[in-house]
């Protein structure tokens, strides 16, 4: 028997595919298209099993549609800017650029070794200056449209290294390099006005229902966080007005029905009122406030509740009671108005705070549960006593509006997107600072603004800011000496439009950022495949950019991704595969030991794509065994250019069964690939192929073997392409995996299949004449299950007509 050698077979076909360019999309095609996209990787240098899974799912879809005559765009590239390249530079004294490009090459080789059918022509790296050029142009167009603005923001600052730190560089509130206490420092930052699109981003989620997972849609909805509420002013009591020079505090509440339960007011440490009275506070209060201010938003969210009494009183708008104003670490300056009416009886956070600082608690609503209780309930006092829920809230808002006390407002939790980073390895922000003209966008003919190659990356400060030739610029407006912006863009900007770049033909990359015509043909992405970790930020930014670029006239669709498949995690021993857990299986080792087809088959067989996948060495062995048998038994088929004609009426029951199983697998294939709502359960398709293959092995008709291989190779090509191309070449002369018509006559047989089970466990299948009677069928079932029945006593025979025979044995 010949033996399966994946190394030679896989190498041969990978080379063939690369040389013939069979996976390149056609441009200006009238053919129906499919755009299959797996999220592009960060060039860390090596792929992990999560990547393998991601790309095998996408590859199966791309190959399936290619085989069925679609024009398929299945691109890959690299999300190539970002911090790890700089960390490598600091640690290993490598240039971020050479580190990144070396890693990309290493990963491309791994993709090739997996047999992924990516377009080589459309491969991009977001750190390429030609990519940066267009990104900078979009930035300027957005700036000119008023969609980008500068604003002071608090950043993590290391006072020793004199550098801004990313959140991940702050460890327990200290600098990762020198362990110095990090402080919050105000600096001018660039923001993109994603909030202008909040409503549309929310509304259009409806158009994705049934196409994206409900979980992702909900996460996006919550992130946008639309809430209706009341905004109103709390007047300061007269001495406090004098002391602060401030008339009133604006507060935002979603629960105006609880207004009679307000017992104090809480404001953010950054609130202007804090500044206004700061000098009048005692040292201890000042110190506590400074400590709160120096804690990052992230750390505040998990810190215990803390407060400082400002000694200022405000007046309740309906009862005229005096309420104390507290600074509280849980009030955010950038939500609502940075001030809250606190209702400890009906809000747990306010309750904990009130308990800690001995503030009064007053019930405003009738509740079923003990306090604090945020359930709806009838109001206990005031003109709307007895009203509850939305009715009460509407009535209160109306009351405030009619009396000129406040107004109903809509708030979004979504914040504008801060896109500037004080780092080297990113796309430079194309702005020039002129003493006379201010911040001026660079002239388009000067783009791209590229990174200087000669830099010293030490981790101290932003190397661009101290790079004199980079910083040197002329004002694009008045021509005077000016300074270049040293901030670079958040890497999420690059991943917000790369899918449009892929749909722009490579030979146009110099002339335009996005080719309107080809993008109109390719988009929307028909299937976008990636991890759940991108459910919020990346997908939201990509949706946002799509809408902005639409409004800038580049295209006319509203949403970029028609369908989204969020793959499950790859686990080992029940935990996510991760370096830190030491449970990583390296794809390279699997490829080396078994080859790509085995890896692909295992990954797609072990679990449905959206479910978690538990790594299992036996499963890998099993996958390999199947492929080996598929290779060896191909000698039972004969080479031919045409599929054999088979006269069904001349076959015996095992032969009929084999054909039936084959055509069932073929039907399953159509179902799995095209019934999108079922999320591509490749595992069931593979199981069906294995069954068909076993049935094929149970008979010995060469025509059926040949027909069987023709069908199986066509079904399995998207999953295990190398061996399918190899065997198809050997048997059928060329790789032909096109549509095969289902021969429905194999189903319309005069026989039917019964499952034979023992104590409920399936042991065999039998094919019986439709005319057969119960005793005859049971007898046949006993024959088939003979080896499992040996040495047992049958207690009961269960007969389910047209379905199964079960033996209850002891
Ligand atoms: C009184 C109240 C009573 C509230 C009650 C809630 C429950 P969402 O729904 O997410 O929009 N809030 C307002 N501004 C805030 C800020 N800057 N920082 C922290 N919290 C703030 O949340 C709105 C609610 O969050 C508002 O309604 C306010 O507390 C608080 F039984 O007002 B509520
Ligand atoms: Zn100027």
**325 and 370 co-located in one domain:** yes
Ion ligand 2 neighbours (CB, 5 A) are 434, 436-437, 475, 477-478
Same domain, 399 and 269: yes
| Virtual torsion, Cα 684, 534, 145, 486, nearest 10 deg | -140
For the stretch 324-335, pLDDT in tens is 999 999 999 988
Q: Cβ distance 155 to 296 under 8 Å?
A: no
Verify that 390 and 439 share a domain, yes or no: no
Give yes or no for a contact between 421 and 464, defined as CB atoms under 8 angstroms apart. no
Buried b / exposed e over 58-69, threshold 16 CB at 10 Å, is bbbbbbbbbbbe
Lowest average pLDDT, out of 27-36, 641-650, 694-703, goes to 641-650
Q: What are phi and psi of 278, to 5 degrees?
A: -55, -45
331: in domain: yes
CATH number at 759 reads 3.10.20.590
- 203, 184 Cβ separation under 8 angstroms: no
CB of 328 closer than 6 A to ligand 1? no
Q: Is 2 exposed, middle or buried (0-12, 13-18, 19+ CB in 10 A)?
A: exposed
Enumerate residues 6+ apart whose C-beta is below 8 A from 592.
Answer: none
40-95 pLDDT per residue, tens: 999 999 999 999 999 999 999 999 999 999 999 999 999 999 988 998 888 888 99
**Ligand 1 centre from 216 Cα, in Å?**
25
Region of 288 please: left (phi>0), alpha (psi -120 to 50) or beta: alpha
The string of DSSP letters for 581-628 reads: GT-PPPHHHHHHHH-HHHHHHHHHHSS-TTS-EE--HHHHHHHHHHHH
Ligand 2 centroid to 436 CA: how many Å? 5
Query: Does 699 or 649 have the greater pLDDT score?
Result: 699
Structure-block tokens of residue 131: 């990519």
> Which residue reads 């149970």 in tokens?
698
Ligand 1 touching residue 409 (CB < 6 A): no
Q: Which of 491, 516, 533 is the last residue of a domain?
A: 491
Instruction: Quickly state the pLDDT bin for 165 (edges 50, 70, 90).
Output: confident
Calculate how far, in angstroms, residue 245's C-alpha sits from the geometric centre of ligand 2: 38
Sign of CA dihedral 729, 734, 739, 742: negative
User: Does one domain contain both 401 and 295?
Assistant: yes
Is 403 in the same domain as 453?
Answer: no
* Ligand 1 centroid – CA 265 distance (Å): 11
Q: Is the CB of 331 under 6 A from ligand 1?
A: yes
Q: Give the ligand at the shortest distance from the Cα of 251.
A: 1
**DSSP assignment letter at 428:** B
CA atoms within 13 A on the CB side of 649: 0
Whether the CB of 232 sits within 6 Å of ligand 1: no
For ligand 1, atom 12, which residue shows the shortest CA distance?
A: 340
CA of 474 to the centre of ligand 2 (A): 8
Q: How far away, in angstroms, is 254 Cα from ligand 1 center?
A: 6
d(CA 60, CA 680): 10
Q: 172: phi > 0 → left, psi -120 to 50 → alpha, else beta; which? A: left
The three-state secondary structure class of 15 is helix
Task: Please identify, among 412, 433, 448, the residue that sits at the C-terminal boundary of a domain.
Answer: 412
Atom of ligand 1 at shortest range from CA of 347: 31
User: Torsion-angle region of residue 480: left (phi > 0), alpha (psi -120 to 50) or beta?
Assistant: beta
Q: 253 C-alpha vs ligand 1 centroid, how far in Å?
A: 5
Best residue for ligand 1 mutational test, from 227, 256, 336 (most atoms within 8 Å of Cβ): 336
Ligand 1 pocket check: which of 198, 249, 253 to mutate, most ligand atoms within 8 Å of Cβ?
A: 253
Q: Pick from 412, 433, 465: which residue ends a domain? A: 412
**Does residue 473 fall inside a structural domain?**
yes
> Which residue(s) pair with 21 in the sheet?
none
Q: Which of 581, 437, 508, 568 is nearest to 57 (CA)?
A: 568
DSSP 8-state symbol, 452 = P
Alpha helices, DSSP H, located in 675-742: 682-697, 702-716, 721-732
Question: Given the CA of residue 254, which atom of ligand 1 is nearest to it?
Answer: 27
- Model pLDDT, residue 541: 96
**Residue 211 neighbours by CB under 8 Å, 6+ apart:** 562, 563, 564, 676
- pLDDT, average across residues 616-630: 97
The answer as to whether 597 is a domain residue is no
Distance CA 61, CA 525 (A): 13
> Can you say how many angstroms the Cα of residue 649 is from the centroid of all Cα atoms in its chain?
53
In a domain, 551, yes or no: no
Strands 307-315 and 264-267: unpaired
pLDDT value, residue 749? 63
Mean per-residue pLDDT of the chain? 94
Query: In sequence order, which residues have a C-beta less than 8 Å from that of residue 11 and are 6 or more positions away?
Result: none
Query: Cα–Cα distances in Å, from 415 out to 162, 226, 543, 709?
Result: 27, 12, 15, 57
- Regarding whether 374 and 308 lie in a shared domain, the answer is yes
Residues 441 and 370 in one domain: no
State if residue 254 touches ligand 1 by the CB under 6 angstroms criterion.
yes
Residues 249-262 have pLDDT tens digits of 999 999 999 999 99
Q: Is 412 in the pocket of ligand 1 (CB under 6 A)?
A: no
**335 in contact with ligand 1, CB cutoff 6 A:** yes
Q: What is the pLDDT confidence band of residue 2, given thresholds at 50, 70 and 90?
A: confident
Q: Which of 222, 225, 226, 255 should be mutated for ligand 1, with most atoms under 8 A from CB?
A: 255
Residue 760 belongs to domain spanning: 749-809
Q: What is the pLDDT of residue 161?
A: 79
φ, ψ dihedrals at 148, nearest 5°: -130, 135
Instruction: Give residue-wise pLDDT tens across range 759-788.
Output: 999 999 998 887 788 999 999 999 999 999
| Test site for ligand 1: of 254, 305, 393, 413, most ligand atoms within 8 A of the Cβ | 254
H-type alpha helices, 77-128: 83-92, 96-113
User: Tens of pLDDT along 412-432?
Assistant: 999 999 999 999 999 999 999
Number of the ligand 1 atom closest to the C-alpha atom of 345: 31
Residue 430 lies in a domain: yes
Q: What ligand has the least distance to the C-alpha of 473? A: 2
- Residue 454 has a pLDDT of 93
Q: Which of 198, 221, 263, 340 to mutate to test the pocket of ligand 1 (most atoms within 8 A of CB)?
A: 340
d(CA 203, CA 218): 12
Q: How far is the CA of 415 from the centre of ligand 1 (A)?
A: 16
Instruction: Give the pLDDT confidence score for residue 738 in this predicted structure.
Output: 78
| 314 and 390 share one domain | yes
**270 in contact with ligand 1, CB cutoff 6 A:** no
pLDDT in tens, 334-380: 888 999 999 999 999 999 999 999 999 999 999 999 999 999 999 99
The reply to whether 347 falls in a domain is yes
Q: Ligand 1 within 6 A of 363 CB? A: no
User: In a mutational test of the pocket of ligand 1, which residue from 252, 272, 397 has the highest number of ligand atoms less than 8 Å from its CB?
Assistant: 252
Residue 252 in domain: yes
Round the CA-based radius of gyration of the chain to a whole number and report it: 33
Query: 336 CA distance to ligand 1 centroid (A)?
Result: 8
What is the 475 CA–ligand 2 centroid distance (Å)? 5
Residue nearest to atom 33 of ligand 1 (CA): 253
pLDDT band at 735 (very low <50, low <70, confident <90, very high): low
Question: Is the peptide bond prior to 342 cis by the omega test (within 30 degrees of 0)?
Answer: no
Q: Are residues 373 and 438 in the same domain?
A: no
- What's the 171 CA to ligand 1 centre distance in angstroms? 30
CATH number for the domain harbouring residue 388 = 3.90.740.10
Q: In terms of domains, do 289 and 399 share one?
A: yes
Q: Determine if ligand 1 sits within 6 Å of the CB of residue 347.
A: yes
Give yes or no for a contact between 375 and 385, defined as CB atoms under 8 angstroms apart: no
Note whether residue 455 is domain-resident: yes
| Total number of domains constituting the chain | 3
The minimum-distance atom of ligand 1 relative to the CA of 330 is: 19
Residues 381 and 456 in one domain: no
Q: How far is the CA of 10 from the centre of ligand 1 (A)?
A: 60
Tokens at 422, concatenated? 């004080």
Confidence at 140, pLDDT banded by 50, 70, 90: very high
Do 342 and 447 share a structural domain? no
């Amino acid at each position: 028997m010949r033996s399966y050698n994946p190394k030679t077979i896989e190498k041969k076909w990978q080379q063939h595919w690369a040389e013939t360019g069979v996976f390149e999309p056609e441009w200006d095609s009238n053919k129906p298209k499919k755009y299959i996209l797996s999220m592009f990787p960060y060039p860390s240098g090596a792929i992990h099993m999560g990547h393998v899974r991601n790309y095998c799912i996408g590859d199966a879809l791309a190959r399936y549609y290619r085989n069925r005559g679609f024009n398929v765009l299945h691109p890959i590239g690299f999300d190539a800017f970002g911090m790890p390249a700089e960390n490598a530079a600091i640690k290993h004294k490598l240039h971020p650029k050479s580190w990144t490009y070396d890693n990309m090459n290493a990963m491309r080789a791994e993709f090739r070794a997996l047999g992924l059918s990516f377009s080589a022509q459309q491969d991009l790296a977001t750190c390429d200056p030609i990519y940066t050029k267009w990104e900078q142009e979009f930035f300027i167009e957005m700036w000119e449209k008023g969609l980008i603005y500068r604003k002071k923001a608090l950043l993590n600052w290391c006072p020793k290294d004199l550098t801004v730190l990313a959140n991940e560089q702050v460890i327990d509130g200290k600098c990762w390099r020198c362990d110095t206490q990090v402080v919050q420092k105000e600096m001018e930052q660039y923001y993109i006005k994603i909030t202008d699109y909040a409503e549309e981003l929310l509304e259009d989620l409806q158009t994705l229902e049934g196409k994206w997972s409900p979980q992702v849609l909900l996460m996006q909805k919550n992130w946008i966080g639309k809430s209706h509420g009341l905004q109103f002013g709390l007047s300061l009591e007269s001495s406090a007005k004098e002391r602060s020079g401030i008339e009133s505090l604006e507060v935002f509440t979603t629960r105006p029905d609880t207004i009679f339960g307000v017992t104090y007011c809480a404001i953010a440490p950054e609130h202007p009122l804090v500044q206004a009275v700061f000098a009048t506070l005692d040292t201890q209060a000042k110190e506590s406030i400074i400590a709160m201010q120096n804690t990052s938003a992230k750390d505040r969210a998990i810190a215990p509740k803390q407060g400082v009494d400002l000694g200022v009183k405000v007046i309740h708008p309906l009862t005229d009671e005096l309420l104390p104003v507290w600074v509280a670490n849980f009030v955010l300056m950038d939500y609502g108005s940075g001030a809250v009416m606190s209702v400890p009886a009906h809000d747990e956070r306010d309750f904990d705070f009130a308990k800690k600082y001995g503030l009064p608690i007053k019930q405003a609503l009738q509740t079923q549960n003990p306090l604090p209780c945020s359930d709806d309930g009838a109001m206990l006092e005031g003109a709307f006593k007895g009203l509850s829920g939305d009715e009460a809230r509407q009535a209160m808002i109306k009351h405030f509006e009619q009396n000129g006390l406040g107004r109903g407002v809509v708030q979004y939790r979504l914040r504008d997107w801060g896109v500037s980073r004080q780092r080297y390895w990113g796309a430079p922000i194309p702005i020039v600072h002129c003493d006379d003209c201010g911040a001026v966008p660079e002239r388009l003919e000067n783009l791209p603004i590229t990174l200087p190659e000669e830099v010293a990356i030490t981790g101290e400060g932003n190397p661009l800011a101290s790079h004199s030739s980079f910083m040197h610029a002329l004002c694009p407006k008045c021509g005077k000496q000016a300074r270049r912006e040293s901030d670079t863009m958040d890497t999420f900007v690059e991943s917000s439009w790369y899918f449009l770049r892929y749909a722009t033909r490579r030979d146009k990359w110099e002339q335009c950022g996005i080719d309107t015509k080809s993008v109109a043909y390719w988009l929307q992405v028909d299937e976008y495949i990636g991890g759940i970790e991108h459910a919020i930020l990346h997908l939201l930014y990509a949706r946002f950019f799509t809408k902005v670029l639409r409004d800038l006239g580049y295209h006319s669709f509203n949403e970029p991704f028609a369908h989204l498949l969020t793959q499950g995690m790859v686990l080992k021993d029940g935990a996510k595969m991760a370096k830190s857990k030491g449970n990583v299986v390296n794809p390279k080792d699997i490829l080396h030991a078994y080859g790509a087809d085995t890896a692909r088959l295992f990954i797609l067989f072990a679990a449905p794509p959206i479910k978690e996948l538990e790594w299992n060495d036996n499963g890998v062995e099993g996958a390999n065994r199947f492929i080996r048998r598929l290779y060896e038994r191909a000698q039972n088929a004969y080479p031919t250019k045409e599929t054999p004609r088979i006269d069904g009426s001349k076959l015996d029951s095992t032969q009929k069964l084999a054909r039936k199983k084959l055509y069932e697998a073929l039907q399953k294939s159509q179902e799995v690939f095209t019934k999108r709502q079922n999320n591509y359960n490749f595992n069931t398709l593979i199981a069906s192929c294995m069954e068909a293959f076993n049935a094929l092995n149970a008979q010995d008709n060469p025509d059926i073997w040949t027909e069987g291989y023709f069908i199986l190779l066509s079904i399995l090509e998207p999953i295990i392409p190398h061996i399918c191309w190899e065997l198809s070449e050997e048997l059928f002369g060329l790789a032909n995996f096109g549509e095969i018509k289902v021969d429905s006559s194999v189903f319309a047989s005069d026989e039917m299949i019964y499952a034979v089970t023992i104590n409920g466990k399936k042991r065999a299948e039998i094919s019986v004449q439709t005319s057969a009677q119960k005793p005859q069928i049971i007898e046949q079932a006993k024959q088939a299950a003979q080896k499992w029945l040996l040495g047992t006593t049958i207690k009961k025979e269960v007969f389910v007509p047209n379905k199964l025979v079960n033996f209850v044995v002891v």
